[in-house]
Amino acid sequence: MKVAVYYNNNDIRIEERPKPEISDGEILVKMKASGICGTDVMEWYRIKKAPRVLGHEIAGEIVESKSEKYKPGQRVFVSHHVPCNKCKYCSEGNHTACETLHKGNYDPGGFSEFIRIPKINVDNGTYLLPENVSYEEAAMIEPLACVARALRLINVKKGYIILVLGSGVSGLLNIQLAKLKGANVTATDINEYRLKKAKEFGADKVVNANNELNVKADRVVICTGALQAAKQAFECIDRKGTILFFAVPGKNIEIPNIDFWRNELTITSSYGAAPADLEESLDLIANKKINVKDMITHKLPLEKIQEGFKITADAKESLKVVLC
């Protein structure tokens, strides 16, 4: 089978490997759609474990099964990270802090023709797709689930003023879900194409991030790794407000500690998604409450993954790139 092996952002090689063999409780999935995530092109983050097969936003068809729960021919979305549901973090509802979730994955990765799904992922992270959800839309379940968790953590609700810094894929998903919750949303970016898309996907106001931001927000969601965004977040957060790092810069940030103390600010982060978030995400997509279909701007075959990485990294007139 063909796999795309990541060496660095400019060196992704299509290689041949044997099709994985499955064991008891496992399934083999033929990849039908695999999204390229913004974190996949964060070279400083990914290159540490290179060479490897990346890809964690997959949907596909079961072609082999040794699980009593699933059978060949079924359409599924599969989560790459799943919790153990036994540790102290899981028992407290903090599934994304679970060590099993951080260490687990499927074999060899989502950028592959066939993927072996370990038993724990079969049991705790495999979801049947409704007929009205396409494979490409299903590849958006994991990114939307991460957003669902993030906005739940910071308690976004009706009437809140939300500032979303960065209007790439994660930013647009945050915009849509915040609007669904009844918030008033201002969005920023330095890319005019993405500012236009932010408006199309529901932002009440869009501002070029190079300009002054005259807003005092109840919640600021940082969806870009730009250091300037972190600075803007502290300038625009209202008293008692919360700044959420949905994305993080590759360097340490400075915290204006006097404002942080005097204005009783909260700074938090959100990583990944728990099973409940994935279920919520699938429901939102299946019931057409969140528009993910129109966020997919490019569909490419696995063999053109290098082109897909360039499109994603350049972040010009593009949003989501899906391999299919």
> How many whole angstroms separate alpha carbon 133 and alpha carbon 136?
8
Per-residue pLDDT at 45 exceeds 90: no
How large is the average pLDDT for residues 200-221? Answer: 96
Residue 197: pLDDT band by 50, 70, 90 thresholds?
A: very high
Q: What is the pLDDT of residue 69?
A: 96
| Percentage above 70 pLDDT, the chain | 100
> How many whole angstroms separate alpha carbon 235 and alpha carbon 230?
9
> How many whole angstroms separate alpha carbon 33 and alpha carbon 273?
20
Mean pLDDT of the chain: 96
Distances from the Cα of 171 to the Cαs of 146, 150, 192, 195, 307, in angstroms? 12, 12, 14, 10, 23
Q: What is the pLDDT of residue 76?
A: 98
The 3 state secondary structure assigned to the chain is CEEEEEEECCEEEEEECCCCCCCCCCEEEEEEEEEECHHHHCHHHHHHHCCECCCCEEEEEEEEECCCCCCCCCEEEEECCCCCCCCHHHHCCCHHHCHHHHHCCCECCCCECEEEECHHHHHHHEEECCCCCCHHHHCCHHHHHHHHHHHHHCCCCCCCEEEEECCCHHHHHHHHHHHHCCCEEEEEECCHHHHHHHHHCCCCEEEECCCCCCCCEEEEEECCCCHHHHHHHHHHEEEEEEEEECCCCCCCCCCCHHHHHHCCCEEEECCCCCHHHHHHHHHHHHCCCCCCHHHEEEEECHHHHHHHHHHHHHCCCCCEEEEC
Q: Tokens 């040794």, residue?
A: 66
Task: Please name which of 77, 324, 290, 32 lies closest in space to residue 177, comparing C-alpha atoms.
Answer: 290
How large is the average pLDDT for residues 191-199? Answer: 97
Q: What is the pLDDT of residue 208?
A: 97
> How many whole angstroms separate alpha carbon 70 and alpha carbon 143?
24
Task: Please name which of 309, 282, 286 lies closest in space to residue 298, comparing C-alpha atoms.
Answer: 309
Per-residue pLDDT at 286 exceeds 90: yes
Domains and CATH numbers, the chain: 2-140+292-323 (3.90.180.10), 147-269 (3.40.50.720)
Question: How is residue 15 written in tokens?
Answer: 């290689």
How large is the average pLDDT for residues 110-133? Answer: 97
Residue 111: pLDDT band by 50, 70, 90 thresholds?
A: very high
Q: What is the pLDDT of residue 264?
A: 97
> Cβ distance 72 to 86 under 8 Å?
no
Q: What is the pLDDT of residue 251?
A: 86
Radius of gyration of the chain (CA): 20
